[in-house]
Amino acid sequence: MRPSPGRPPPPAEGGRGLTGRIIEEVVDQPGALPMISHALLETRHRRRGRLLTLAAYEESSGVRGMIATTAEQVYTRLSAEHRRAARRILLRLIAPGTTTPAKP
């Protein structure tokens, strides 16, 4: 298949380009679609010209690196009071049942 006039040819990355790399990182993960969306958005911010590239994606440490960086940026912008609240909420999300009675 030939590229359209005025468009660059697709990158030759041995079949394991940007799409394949993102899919590899999120396959079988709950919440994969929002993770892919976030990865593409962050890759778009790092693009060169009009193309999303594997290099731009790798600059940000992949899906987990992008999510961690974004979470840290959001958390540091919170006031001290909101950070305490966020911490309580997040800790309850990762340790369910520790502050609630067990169900029979």
The model's confidence at residue 15, banded by pLDDT at 50, 70 and 90, is very low
Q: Helix H segments across the chain? A: 18-26, 32-45, 54-59, 62-77, 80-94
| Exposure string for 18-33, b = 16+ CB within 10 A, e = fewer | beebbeebbeeeeeee
For 17-51, the pLDDT digits (tens) are 888 899 999 998 888 999 999 999 988 888 878 88
Whole-model pTM: value is 0.64
